[in-house]
Structure 1
Amino acid sequence: MADTTPPRTEATRTEVIRTGPIRYATAERFARPRPVPDGDPLPTRGEICPQPPSRLDFVMGAPRDTHPQGEDCLNLAIATPARDAGARPVFVWLHGGGFSTGAGLMDWYDGGVLAAEGDVVVVSVNYRLGALGYLCLDGVSEGNLGLYDQVEALRWVRKHIAGYGGDPADVTLIGQSAGGISIRLLMELPEARGLFRRAVLQSAPLEITARPREESFALGKVFADALGTDPRTAEVPAILAAQSETAAFHLRTAGRRMEPAFIPVEGVPPIPPPGTPLGESVRGLDVLYGWNADDMTVFLGAGEDPAVRTREVYEGPLTRYGERLARAGARVHSYRIDWRPAGSPLGATHCLELPLLFGTRDAWRTAPMLGETPWEEIDRLGRALRSAWLTFARTGTPGDLPAPLTGGPAPGTS
Structure 2
Amino acid sequence: MTGSGAGLTRTGPDAGPADAGRTGIEPVVRTGPIRYATAERFGRPRPVAAGDTRPSSGEICPQPPSRLDAVMGPPHDSRPQGEDCLNLTVTTPAADGGARPVMVWFHGGGFSSGAGLMDWYDGSALAAQGDVVVVGVNYRVGALGYLCLDGVSEGNLGLYDQLEALRWVREHIAEYGGDPGSVTVFGQSAGGISIRLLMEMDEARGLFGRAILQSAPLALTERSRDDAAELGRIFADHLAARGESPSTAGHAALLEAQRETAVAHLLRSGSAMEPPFSPVDGVLARNGAAFAENVRGLDVLYGWNADDMTAFPGVEGDPAELTARMYAAPLAELGERLVRAGARVHSYRLDWRPAGSAFGATHCVELPLLLGGRAAWEGAPMLGSTPWDEVDALGAALRATWLGFVRTGVPGAAPGPLHCTDGPVPGR
User: How high is the TM-score relative to the length of structure 1?
Assistant: 0.97
The answer to whether residue 264 in structure 2 is matched with residue 249 in structure 1 is yes
- Superposition deviation, residue 402 in structure 1: 2.2
SS at match of 2:81: coil
8 Å contact from structure 1 (residues 399, 408) kept in 2? no
The code of the aligned residue for 2:351 comes to: D
Structure 2 equivalent of residue 408 of structure 1: 421
Q: 1:147 offset after TM fit, Å?
A: 0.5
Partner of 2:331: 318
Q: Distance in 1 between matches of 2:366 and 2:398?
A: 8
2:228 paired with 1:223: no
Which secondary structure state, in structure 2, belongs to the residue aligned with residue 281 of structure 1?
helix
Equivalent position of 2:406 in the other structure: 393
Give the Cα separation in 2 of the matches to 1:370 and 1:363: 12
Which of residues 252, 260, 263 in structure 1 aligns to 2:275?
Answer: 260
Q: Is it true that 1:146 corresponds to 2:151 in the alignment?
A: no
1:203 corresponds in structure 2 to 215
1:123-160 CA distance string (max 9 Å, x none): 00000000000000000000000000000000000000
> Is the counterpart of residue 369 in structure 1 residue 382 in structure 2?
yes
Letter in 2 for 1:173: V
Deviation, structure 1 residue 230: 2.1
Whole-angstrom distance in 2 between the partners of 1:408 and 1:55:
32
Relative to structure 1, the CA distance from residue 357 to residue 302 in structure 2 (aligned partners, 3 Å threshold; closer, same or farther) is closer
- 2:348 is the alignment partner of 1:343: no
Work out whether 1:356 is the aligned partner of 2:381: no
> Does residue 167 of the first structure (1) align with residue 172 of the second (2)?
no
> Could you give the per-residue CA deviations for residues 240-281 of structure 1, whole angstroms, max 9, x where no partner exists?
1110010000000111111100000012xxx14556662110
Letter paired with 2:266:
L
Cα separation, partners in 2 of 1:232 and 1:285, compared to 1, 3 Å: same
Identity over the aligned pairs, expressed in percent? Answer: 66
Distance 1:305 1:345 in 2: 15
Equivalent of 2:8 in 3, 16, 21: 3
Give distance in 2, aligned partners of 1:157 and 1:315.
31
Distance 2:143 2:340 in 1: 36
Residue 279 of structure 1 aligns to a residue whose secondary structure is helix
Aligned to 1:289, the other structure's residue is in SS state strand
Q: Which moved more, 1:300-309 or 1:390-399?
A: 300-309
Residue type at the aligned position of 1:18: R
Which amino acid is the alignment partner of residue 250 of structure 2?
E
Match of 1:77 among 86, 89, 94: 89
Q: Could you list the per-position Cα deviations for residues 142-186 of structure 1 after superposition, in whole angstroms to 9, with x for gaps in the alignment?
A: 000000000000000000000000000100000000000000000
- 1:120 matched to which residue of 2? 132
Q: Using the alignment, how far apart are the partners of 1:147 and 1:276 within structure 2? A: 22
Cα distance between partner residues in 2 of 1:222 and 1:243: 9
Distance 1:135 1:15, change over 3 A: same
Indicate whether 1:235 and 2:250 are aligned.
Answer: yes
Task: Tell me: CA distance 1:116–1:182, structure 2 relative to 1, closer, same or farther (3 Å).
Answer: same
Residues 9 and 30 of structure 2 are in contact (CA less than 8 Å); yes or no, is this contact kept in structure 1?
yes
Q: Do 1:337 and 1:406's aligned partners in 2 also have CA atoms closer than 8 Å?
A: yes
**Farther off after superposition, 91-100 or 222-231:** 222-231
Matching residue's letter, 1:256: S
Distance (whole Å) between structure 1 residues aligned to residue 417 and residue 177 of structure 2: 34
2:299 matches 1:286: yes
Q: Which amino acid in 2 is paired with 1:314?
A: Y
Partner residue of 1:19 out of 31, 49, 54: 31
CA distance in 2, matches of 1:361, 1:237: 32
Residue correspondences, number:
410
**Given that residues 400 and 408 in structure 1 are in contact (C-alpha distance below 8 angstroms), is that contact kept between their aligned partners in structure 2?**
no
User: In 2, distance between residues paired with 1:302 and 1:58?
Assistant: 15
**Ranges in structure 1 where 5+ consecutive residues have no aligned partner:** none
CA contact (8 A) 2:61 2:83 kept: yes
Query: Does the 8 Å CA contact 2:171/2:180 hold for their aligned counterparts?
Result: yes
* Aligned twin of 1:97: 109
